[in-house]
Each structure stands twice: as C-alpha cells, then as structure tokens.
A and B are shown apart, each in its own frame.
Chain A
Amino acid sequence: MINNLSRRYFIGVSAAFTGVFATSGRVLALTDQSAKNLVDRVVGDINKVIASGRSVGAMIQDFERIFARYADVNIIARSTLGADSRRLSAAQMRAFTDAFRGYIARKYGKRFNEFVGGKIEVKGVREVKSWHEVESTVYLRGESPFQVLFLVSDRSGKDLFFDMVIEGVSLRLSERTEIGAMLDRRRGDIDALIQDLRSAG
C-alpha cells in the first residue's frame, strides 16, 4: 500500500548521514568536486565499517555521534514540538533534545546496513531564503537514483544542517507528525513523552 517511496525516505535518511561529513565545516566554500570527493571517502569508510560486521548497536552509536556533530539537533528537536515547545522548561527541553537525538539515531541507524553498495553524489549548492540547500543524489543497488537535499544554516553560530528532504519528504516535518502523535497519545504530558522517546525508534 505504501510503496518504496517510504523506503527511500528511510534509507535516504540513513544514507544521508554518511553524506553529512560533506556538509559540515565550510560548506559554502566547498566546490562540487571537493564535496563529492569527501562524500566518496566517507561512503567508502562507512562501507568498511559495515563490512567489518560491527553490531547494529555499535552502528547506532556511531550514527548518534554523527547526528550530534553535524546537525542542529536543538533546532530540529524544538521544531518537531511546534507550538508546544514554548511550554517546556529549560531542563525539559534539554531532556527532550537528548531523548530525541537517541530516538533519531535508533530509528534511522538500524536501517544503515541497507545502504551497503550505495553511493551519494553532491550535485550543487544554492541559496534559499536564509539558508543554503545542498542537493545530492543517492544511488542504491537495484533502485533508481533519488534526490536528497540538506538544508544548511549558520544561524546557530556554526554551519549545521537543520533538515533533510528526501524526494520531497522532510525529516523535520515527518518527525513533527510523529512527535505530535506521541504527545497526543500522552494527552500533552511532556515528561511522559520524554520517557516514551527514550525507548522509541
């Protein structure tokens, strides 16, 4: 009923984490060629990790580190809460952000092995409103290539990405739907949501 678009979304998120290295640091100074070379190296390294037969648990940990380092987890976590984010105390927000980071790493990290044999190519960068959009194409074995966009901003003080859009499907918007549903299930109880999130994914 739901065809392979959703699979592409999942793998795209996983695969794209490997591309994250390319978007870190001085993104705007990157040329297509140097970004591509970087991604090729990263993909090669990642494939080595997968081939080394590390456990899923270990891969998820690698994943969480990557996410924490190259994504603006604070802003992503906050925006998945939408208007509810204003109700949180500073301590709750910290707890939520930590739980959210682990949840994302587990949810997408466990799909990582499906990326074996794939590659990402960075196609170009363009300025959109107040951020930069890095366009890449993901090639997976036995699939037609698909597009992944990274939305990168330096408004946090560092160049970090705050969204990934896989064939039009935004990580941030999809997780907003999911987090919203989890919060509804707990009738708006933020602490219960944080508890749930620590084991979800």
Chain B
Amino acid sequence: MTRLGVALALSVLVAACAKPGPGHPPGEPFDPYENTNRKIHEFNRSVDRAVIRPAGKGYSNFLPDDIETLIGRFAFNLSLPGSIVNNILQGNGKGATEDTYRFVVNSTMGLGGFFDPASEIGMPEATNADFGETLYVWGVREGAYVELPLLGPSTERATAGKVVDIFTNPLTYVLESPNNYYGTIASVSSRLSDRGRYSETIDSILYQSADSYSQAQSLYLQNRRFELGNGSGAAYLDPYDDPYSDQGEDPYDQ
C-alpha cells in the first residue's frame, strides 16, 4: 500500500514538472511561480533571522569544532545507504560499489561514521546521489524553479526527489524507533552547524545582495546543474538545461 502511494505520488510529482514555453529565453531561469517563491523567500529570510541564524551561531559557538565535524560525518554516513539505492536506480554500479565500500569502512573502522578513514586512505569521493539526480538520469525535465519553506532553493524535479528520498534510505526501514531518528537529528544538527560556520557567506547572500532571491536562485541552479553533469558522468546537459549556454556565448562577440 505504501509502495503504491509512493508510486502514485511520484508520477503526479514528475508529471507536474512544468515545461518552459517556446518563447522562453535560453539561459534565463524558468520561474513561473516567482511571486509565490518570493513570498516563501521572505518567510525563509525571516525564519533565518529570527531562529536559524542565532541558533546556528549559538550551536557553533557552544560546541567545539571537532565535535561539530564528528556529528556532520555521522549524519553524512547515515545518508550513504540512500545514495547507494539511488546509484543502483541510475544503473551506476561503480558509484554504488564505491559508496558501499565507503559506508562499510566508515561504519566499522570509522566507529559508526564519526570518523572518515575512507577519505584518509584515498577512497573515491562519495557520489552524493539523490533521487532528484535519479530523475535527471531517467530523463525527467528540470521543471520550474521553486523555493521551499525552510529548505530553500530547489526545482520541481529536485523537490519530487526530496520527497522520494524520505523512502529510499533503507535505514528508515531497518532501524527501529528511536534509533531511526538519530540520523534526522544529526542532519538537522549538522545543518545548524553549517549555518554557524558559514555564517558570513550566507549572510552576504541573504542580507547583503541587492536581490537575495535572484542571487540564491542563480547560485543554486548553476551549482545543481554542475553536480548533475558531474555526478552522472554526462559532462554536459541538454542545451535547454545547459548551464554553459550563457557562458557559451563568447563575450568578445559583441
């Protein structure tokens, strides 16, 4: 029953990925929901100002850096099984194998993921595969840009992926309550910790940009497209989604 529900929800979400009209200028973000997105952006900014920013700073000042790093690693290690599942769904056997080795090594020698011997012995980097990427590999289009409450910049495709990723991590099924909350708590903690550590950068985008909405959108879309191109091994995207289409113009040709 759950599976049917997930499959249904997924097909609805994927079908909902909007398509830019034929007159849409290439290189411009596809943002038909800009009015709503901007309202959510303002909400996110006010939540950040009132809660997340002070909490992040407090958290970061309260905990020694080393402890924060440990928690970050622990949370990341718990996300690996989800990555492995997504690699398999993408037909990326190499990625799935590498992430599996990383998970095994860090869970055992790394004492449950608190340490990262996998990187120290030079194992391949984690693939960071998520279901949004799986949808990309399956040929689902990016859809419109959306800003999600609390979670921030996203696209329709990435949002559908986030929803499904709640179910793709096998640990959700294996662990019993309350153990299955450790991952969530750790990942919330590591996000707070990032907000504290990267405080200046995030402040400069959210509070010092002329238009923080557009700036966050631009940074997110450029980086997300880059990661998809790299993560899946396909160096370049469909020209309509091509992050380089704008750079592709030679600035000297004017």
A-B contact pairs, 7 of them (CB 8 A): A2-B202, A5-B223, A6-B205, A144-B119, A173-B218, A178-B211, A184-B210
- B206–A2 touching, CB < 8 Å: yes
**In angstroms, how far is the closest chain B Cβ from the Cβ of A157?**
11
Contact B210 A185 (CB under 8 A): yes
Min C-beta distance of B73 to chain A, whole Å:
11
Say whether A79 contacts B251, CB under 8 Å.
yes
Which of B69, B214, B222, B251 is A168 in contact with, Cβ under 8 Å? B222
Query: Whole-angstrom distance from the CB of A182 to the nearest CB of chain B?
Result: 4
Most-contacted residue by chain A among B151, B209, B248, B251 (CB, 10 A):
B251
Interface residues of A in 141-194 (CB under 8 A from B): 142, 144, 151, 153, 155-156, 162-163, 165, 167-170, 172-174, 177-178, 180-182, 184-185
Cβ of B250: which chain A residues have Cβ within 8 Å of it? 129-131, 153, 155
The residue in B200, B215, B222 that gathers the most chain A C-beta atoms within 10 A of its C-beta is: B222
Option from A4, A78, A144, A165 in Cβ contact (under 8 Å) with B251: A78
Residue ID in chain A nearest B148 by CB atoms: A1
**CB nearest to B226 among chain A residues:** A168
A129 and B248 form a contact (CB under 8 A):
yes
**CB of A7 closer than 8 Å to a CB of B:** yes
* Closest-CB distance, A55 to chain B (whole angstroms): 18
Residues of B that sit less than 8 Å from A by CB: 44, 48, 52, 69, 119, 125, 150-153, 191, 194-195, 197-198, 200-202, 204-206, 209-211, 214-220, 222-227, 229, 243, 246-248, 250-252, 254
Tally of chain A residues near chain B (CB < 8 A): 41
Tell me which residues across on chain A come within 8 A of B223, comparing CB atoms.
Answer: 5, 9, 167-169
Known: A3-B198, A7-B201, A181-B215. A162 touches B152 (CB 8 A): no
Residues facing B in A58-88 (CB within 8 A) are 75-76, 78-79
CB-CB nearest 10 A-B residue pairs: A168-B226, A181-B211, A1-B152, A181-B210, A7-B201, A182-B210, A7-B198, A155-B252, A177-B218, A79-B251
